[in-house]
């Protein structure tokens, strides 16, 4: 009923030094349809050329003494499957040390290591499949999202809630119709938004003809300025409906 995984990654970087990052997983099979999984992993991300060496006054200023990011995550997941259904519930704890951010200052945007911060939340996923159709639901909650925190100046720009809904229906052996709704909660000075898409596909031998209507409800989408961590302006996103037509050939 048990499975164990133990591993590690060793990195030796001339700019960022050495680091050993472990990965541990424990899986317990409750029965043939249900399981529990505990996972802990760490990631090591070295600063890149732009973050360390680019120097453009009043624009972007890198710093050679940047430390590498170390990211740790711990997750506990429960999954259950039956004929035609899948359910997954997952709680997570995430922490970051020396996260690299762009920090606006008087003489330009400086790349800096941020103070350590952590986040936690949960995710739910449900899928249902029948003979002619399939649907799915995904929901994620980030407790620190859309909050102004002294030790985590990026949390304000992350949504607290994301929801994705989808439906796929087979009209015939060669035709399918699908749709999705993607909801992103408010963050920083950006309002919540729900984007709706629908898609039609027709298989003709080796050819696939498809048509997609994006942003069906004509949502006006503005994103927060996550690159510069600025709340003074918004970044334009989707504008109006868009229709995409395409033809692909498979062999």
60-61: strand order across its sheet? 55-56, 60-61, 108-113, 100-105
User: Under 8 Å CB-to-CB from 232, ≥6 apart: which residues?
Assistant: 225
Element (H, E) at 167: strand 161-170
- 50-85 residues labelled b (16+ CB within 10 A) or e (exposed): ebbeeeeeeeebbeeebebbbbbbbbbbebeeeeee
Over residues 57-70, the pLDDT tens digits come to: 888 888 888 888 88
pLDDT above 90 for 103: no
Q: How much is the pTM?
A: 0.84
Q: What is the pLDDT of residue 178?
A: 97
Q: Is 7 exposed, middle or buried, given 0-12, 13-18 or 19+ CB atoms closer than 10 A?
A: exposed
Over residues 27-36, the pLDDT tens digits come to: 999 999 999 9
User: Under 8 Å CB-to-CB from 76, ≥6 apart: which residues?
Assistant: 36, 37, 38, 39, 90, 91, 92
User: Under 8 Å CB-to-CB from 27, ≥6 apart: which residues?
Assistant: 2, 3, 4, 35, 36, 37, 38
Q: Give the rounded percent of residues in the chain with a pLDDT score beyond 70.
A: 100
Instruction: Return the bridge partners of 113, or none.
Output: 100
Instruction: State the distance between the two ends of the chain, measured CA to CA, in whole angstroms.
Output: 43
Q: Are 122 and 109 in contact (CB under 8 A)?
A: no
C-alpha span between 243 and 230 (Å, rounded) = 32
Mean pLDDT of the chain: 91
Confidence bin at 20 (pLDDT 50/70/90): confident
Q: What is the pLDDT of residue 11?
A: 84
Over residues 73-82, the pLDDT tens digits come to: 999 999 999 9
Instruction: Return the bridge partners of 73, or none.
Output: 41, 94
Average pLDDT over residues 102-126: 90
Q: What is the pLDDT of residue 76?
A: 98
User: Under 8 Å CB-to-CB from 83, ≥6 apart: which residues?
Assistant: none
Residue listed under structure tokens 């590498």: 68
pLDDT above 80 for 229: no
Confidence bin at 212 (pLDDT 50/70/90): very high
C-alpha span between 33 and 214 (Å, rounded) = 37
Closest CA to 128 of 169, 177, 77, 185: 169
């Amino acid at each position: 009923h048990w499975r164990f995984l133990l591993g590690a990654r060793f990195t030796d970087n001339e700019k960022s030094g050495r680091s050993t990052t472990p990965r541990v997983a424990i899986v317990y099979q409750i029965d043939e349809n249900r399981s529990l999984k505990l996972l802990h992993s760490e990631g090591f991300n070295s600063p890149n050329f732009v973050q360390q060496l680019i120097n453009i006054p009043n624009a972007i200023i890198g710093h050679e003494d940047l430390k590498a990011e170390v990211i740790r995550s711990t997750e506990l997941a429960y999954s259950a499957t039956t004929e035609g259904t899948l359910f997954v519930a997952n709680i997570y704890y995430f922490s970051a040390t020396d996260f690299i951010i762009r920090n606006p200052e008087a003489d330009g945007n400086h790349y800096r290591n941020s103070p350590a911060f952590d986040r936690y939340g949960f995710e739910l996923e449900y899928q249902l499949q029948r003979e002619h159709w399939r649907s799915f639901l995904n929901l994620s909650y980030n407790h620190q999202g859309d909050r102004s925190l002294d030790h985590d100046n990026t949390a304000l720009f992350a949504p607290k809630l994301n929801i994705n809904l989808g439906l796929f229906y087979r009209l015939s052996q060669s035709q399918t119709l699908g749709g999705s709704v993607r909801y992103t909660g408010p963050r920083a000075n950006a309002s919540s938004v729900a984007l709706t898409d629908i898609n039609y596909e027709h298989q003709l031998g080796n050819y696939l003809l498809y048509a997609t209507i994006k942003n069906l409800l004509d949502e006006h989408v503005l994103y927060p300025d996550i690159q510069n961590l600025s709340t003074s302006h918004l970044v334009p996103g989707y504008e109006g409906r868009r229709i995409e037509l395409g033809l692909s050939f498979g062999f």
